[in-house]
Amino acid sequence: MIEVEMKIKISENDFLKLEKELSVKGKRKIEENMDDLYFQHPCRDFKVTDEALRIRRCNSDLFITYKGPKLGKEMKTREEIEFKIEDFDKAKRAFEKLGFIPVAHVKKRRISYKYGDYTISLDKVNQLGTFLEIECEVLNETEIKEKEDKIKSFLINTLGIKEFKSIRKSYLEMLLEKNNI
């Protein structure tokens, strides 16, 4: 699976406005509290290879996620492999036994809506602020540009956001940068 995602920083007021609008326009998916523990590979620098490995606690569910290097030039589009696990502490210990080093916790509250092919998420990220993410999935790289254009159009024409700057950095990258790590 390739996840095509546009992320933009929004104000708290815009967050509340969009939450109200999307409750009417879209189908509310779920409200989630996410706690992501990210790891550094023992033999290669994920900052250089633009990859990520995390254990996610999402409400009562647990996942391991690998994120490949970004593919698009404007949005945060990348391969993602995610699977459910049963025990956070055992997964963490196994990673550490293999030499993986925990580097950061990213904590956020996410409210997600389904709107056609899109998942729209309103995120409140500890230490970083409020964000809007619009994402969809594609099966291969040839579909990326078309989906990126559709996401921009959706943002402008459906959500009414005319001025925006797409953020390619992950929350992890922004948090590490903010904390000079």
- Residues labelled catalytic: 38
Place of tokens 């609008």: 21
> Which of 65, 66, 67, 63 has the alpha carbon at shortest distance from 84?
63
Residue spans of beta strands (DSSP E) within the chain: 2-10, 27-40, 52-58, 61-70, 78-85, 101-115, 118-125, 129-138
Q: Is 128 left (phi over 0), alpha (psi -120 to 50) or beta?
A: alpha
104: Cα within 13 Å, side-chain hemisphere: 19
Place of tokens 């007021």: 13
Side chain identity at residue 92, one-letter code: K
Cα separation values, 21 from 2, 13, 52, 57, 160, Å: 28, 12, 33, 28, 11
Side chain identity at residue 18, one-letter code: L
